[in-house]
Amino acid sequence: MSKSDTSLYIRNESDRPIVIILYVDDLFIGGKDVAEINVKSLLSGIFEMKDLHELHYFLGIEVIWTPVGICISPRHYILNLLYKFALTDCKPVSSPLDRNLKQDVDSGTTVCAN
């Protein structure tokens, strides 16, 4: 279990880590090697599960698969918020946050900024 997020589980026993993210009744299992992700078969023997195969949305975040990896985008989630609060005509502003900020996965503390 991650020290900074109790719904994030990471197995780092080999060079092929497995990540499990749990939120209420949604579960995401990911890793480099599909054959290594045998956790799904173990869990489905205990819990009733439905496999939705390749991930496209998780908690409002869009997941886009590319040949070199994945890209995550909160665009759909943000658009829903703008519609919900009638802010679709608002004007964007730049953020003062450093775009190259890196954080430690376990602690959430700043590691470096390029």
Q: What is the mean pLDDT of each run of 10 residues along the chain (114 residues)?
A: 77 78 82 70 81 80 84 87 92 77 68 56
Q: Which token pair is 78?
A: 């943000």
Residue 86, pLDDT score: 94
User: Do 38 and 21 belong to one domain?
Assistant: yes
C-beta of residue 73 within 8 angstroms of C-beta of residue 64: yes
Range of the domain at 40: 1-53
Residue 36, pLDDT score: 64
Q: Would you tell me how many other CB atoms lie within 10 Å of the CB of residue 86? A: 8
**Do the domain assignments include residue 100?**
no
Residue 85, pLDDT score: 95
Q: How many domains in the chain?
A: 2
Residue 15, pLDDT score: 76
User: Do 3 and 47 belong to one domain?
Assistant: yes
Closest CA to 28 of 56, 5, 4, 1: 56
Residue 82, pLDDT score: 92
User: Do 59 and 40 belong to one domain?
Assistant: no
Residue 52, pLDDT score: 77
Those residues whose C-beta lies under 8 Å from the C-beta of residue 75, and which sit 6 or more positions away, are: 62
Residue 74: phi, psi to the nearest 5? -85, 15
